Amino acid sequence: MNATDELMNDHRTIERMLTILNTAASKADAGQDLPPDFFTKVVDFIRNFADKAHHGKEEDNLFPAMEKRGIPRQGGPIAVMLNEHDLGRTYVRGMDDAGHRLMRGDREALTLGAKNAHAYADLLAQHIRKEDNILYAMADRVLSQSDQKNLLTRFSEIDKERLGPEKRQQYMSLLDELERELSIKA
């Protein structure tokens, strides 16, 4: 197994959340209510699983390893991925704001949450395709077996440090719960 295989496994989990986001946002667009804590739960997942753990593996480990092997950080695919990570964080802040407002009873925040949910899901779907099909293939070409092994070891450490097995399981349960609530077939 290469380090990029583990990152792609994370992508499959994140894609489940993207489906949840699009489904919920479409319901909100159609005038249907969402649970007041919906965006709070989603933001927690994104900030911890997708950003802190997954993007942390890339930003703190994969990208620097690729740089050492000659892939430039500026002006190339790594720069594009970093820019998209930052743009995604902007949409997450919008969902977070909407979530706080919804919890205070501000129904108008549902529109803001839906707009940011759609934008985040669209961005991340394209982002994942680029990483899976272009960036990770590039990484696999330039990284040695030793690099891959070191990255896998570090990724395991990141999962333990930033998530831990209990939190990871809580997030998997959250995905199951939200899929059921929104009638999404897994």
In a domain, 154, yes or no: yes
Q: Is 79 a member of any domain?
A: yes
**Could you report the per-residue pLDDT of 109-133, keeping only the tens digit for each?**
999 999 999 999 999 999 999 999 9
| Residue 37 covered by a domain | yes
Q: Is residue 186 part of a domain?
A: no
Distance between CA atoms of residues 29 and 25, nearest Å: 6
Residue type, 95: M
pTM of the model as a whole: 0.95
CATH number at residue 140: 1.20.120.520
Q: Is 70 helix (H, G, I), strand (E, B) or coil?
A: coil
Q: For residue 15, is it within any domain?
A: yes
- Would the CA dihedral through 124, 125, 130, 132 be positive or negative? positive
Per-residue pLDDT tens over the stretch 27-73: 999 999 999 899 999 999 999 999 999 999 999 999 999 999 999 99
Domain extent, residue 139, equals 3-181
When divided into structural domains, the chain yields a total of: 1
Q: Is 173 exposed, middle or buried (0-12, 13-18, 19+ CB in 10 A)?
A: exposed
Q: Is 11 within a domain?
A: yes
The answer to whether residue 94 sits within a structural domain is yes
Residue with tokens 């007041």: 36
Residue 164's pLDDT is: 87
Q: Determine, yes or no, domain membership for 77.
A: yes
Question: Taken in order 32, 37, 40, 45, is the CA torsion positive or negative?
Answer: negative
**39 token code pair:** 């965006």
